[in-house]
């Protein structure tokens, strides 16, 4: 196994969108028959804009020519706070490793790349949502549950 990580660019739009759909189907326990056409169209538009304006960094993992995993980080800004005077934040998303390749350190390496990209931008505030399967990885990496955030469903 020789896993190669590639920083995604606009030339990988189709693979990025396909991967996004695969991630959402897996995370939401959806079958292959779920209508993902709206998500596909919106993801295509998102990647077109975000890769070009630098508000998203994505990495793809390959074993030879075979796609085996992905991860991304979106950058955004909120009002400055005492603990985050720049207001700049990063949100890690779309972390996925195909089942046959799990437990081989690929997700950790992907996380290393995403966190390094974030740190190079001078961003200290990094968050993510974790599935039950991903939570042990993120906890081991040093992520902690957020105590003060709430969401209006």
Contact criterion met (CB below 8 Å) for 27 and 93: no
Give per-residue pLDDT as tens, 142-152.
999 888 777 78
How high is the pLDDT of residue 113?
98
Phi, psi of 129 (to 5 degrees): -105, 140
Q: Which residues contact 118 (CB under 8 A, 6 or more apart)?
A: 73, 75, 90, 126
Least Cα distance to 74 among 96, 105, 46 occurs for: 46
pLDDT score of 147:
80
Query: Closest by alpha carbon to 8, among 83, 82, 85, 74?
Result: 74
DSSP state of 54: T
Summarised one tens digit per residue, pLDDT across range 61-75 is 999 999 999 999 999
Taking the C-alpha atoms of residue 114 and residue 108, their distance in angstroms, rounded to an integer, is: 10
DSSP tag of 134: T
Q: Give me the architecture of the 3-139 domain, per CATH.
A: 3-Layer(aba) Sandwich (3.40)
Give tens-digit pLDDT for 84-130: 999 999 999 999 999 999 999 999 999 999 999 999 999 999 999 98
Q: What tens digit of pLDDT does each residue of 11-50 get?
A: 999 999 999 998 899 888 899 899 999 999 999 999 999 9
Predicted local confidence at residue 135, as pLDDT: 92
Q: Would strands 3-7 and 125-128 be described as parallel, antiparallel, or unpaired? A: unpaired
Q: Domain ranges in the chain?
A: 3-139
């Amino acid at each position: 196994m020789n896993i190669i990580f590639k920083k995604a660019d606009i030339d990988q739009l189709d693979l990025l969108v396909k991967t996004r759909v695969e991630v959402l189907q897996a995370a939401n326990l959806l079958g292959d028959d779920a209508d993902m056409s709206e998500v596909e169209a919106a993801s295509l538009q998102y990647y077109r804009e975000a890769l070009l304006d630098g508000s998203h960094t994505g990495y793809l993992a390959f074993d030879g020519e075979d796609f085996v995993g992905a991860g991304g980080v979106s950058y955004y800004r909120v009002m400055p706070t005492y603990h985050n005077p720049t207001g700049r934040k990063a949100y890690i998303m779309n972390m996925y490793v195909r089942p046959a390749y799990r437990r081989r350190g690929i997700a950790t390496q992907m996380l290393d790349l995403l966190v390094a990209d974030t740190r190079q931008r001078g961003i200290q505030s990094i968050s993510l949502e974790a599935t039950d399967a991903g939570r042990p990885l993120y906890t081991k990496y040093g992520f902690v549950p957020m105590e003060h955030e709430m969401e209006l469903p």
